[in-house]
Structure 1
Amino acid sequence: MPNNYPAVSLTNAKAYGAQEVIIDTPKHGVELGELNESEILAVLTMYQRRTAALSKIKGLDYVLIFKNNGARAGASIAHAHSQVFATNIIPPDVQEEITAAVNYHAKHRRNAYADIIAKEIKGPRRIYTDKLTAAFCPYASRFHYEAWIFPRRLVDNVTELTATELKSLA
């Protein structure tokens, strides 16, 4: 659904983009972490669908899906939801990460994320692994309780994940 307070719009050349809200569950007072696997899979599938749809719009180069819980985090609705933010600008920190990954590959002839996953799934920061998914606390976390969740098959975009991979992530 459209965001009632969008920071960007497809009709605003100075703040070009799209901003949407995804209702995570019809259950009021329930957060994402309280949903069962099939309910989380439905949320992830919607993330995939909205990313695919927004990526087809001319001029939208970057899609970000995020959650903010509660008024202190900027949420304007109490019901469990996610936001989709698509713009024509790739944020500088994201561009730096892309550049670093490209440089790592040029130097080592390996994927930086594959190397991170291979190391972390054997270490003390591992949270969860299966054949399709790896979850761990990153080295030098920036935030309390920060966790990285990766598909084991490296893809460039959530739209490339299979239904089986999405289920594993759920």
Structure 2
Amino acid sequence: MSILIKNATIINANDTQKANILIKNNKITQISSAMSDAERVIDASGKLVMPGLIDMHVHFRDPGQEYKEDIITGSRAAAAGGVTTACCMANTKPVNDNPLIAKYMIQKAKDCGLIDLYPISAITQGSKGERLVDMGKMLEAGCIAFSDDGLPVVSSDVMRAALEYSAY
């Protein structure tokens, strides 16, 4: 199927332009001022077209506090706002401090199929600021960063170890 998005204001990191976008087989094949034939035409007059946004700090609260928000409702809200990638903080119950929780979060987002989700691991076990998580295993499970999300790492030795480990 081919789609033409016409009269778009396209915003990229270093450029803004008015143009038409031709999509064939789910890939952008042409960006130009020329019109092309397409099976479906979308008039984007007065609209902005840009790459998907990334939200680096979300609280989907899943697992454990789904009554506040979960991965499905958070993904729906993100997608509605143009966010295609979200990074979930570790303030879940239980805390995202072991690979099983991180893998659960990633799989649930994949099953939902709306956004890419990257979990942020706790720095310390239980986000208590005392004992470092196994950062290597958390990275292998798919975590992309570490944060105790506003809670202090109470031991400067633990914080130093976390920073030294993350430098590699």
TM-score by length of 1: 0.22
Larger Rg: 2
Flag the structure with higher strand content.
2
Q: Which has the higher contact order (CA 8 A, sep 6+)?
A: 1
* Higher fraction of helix: 1
Superposition TM-score, scaled by structure 2 size = 0.22
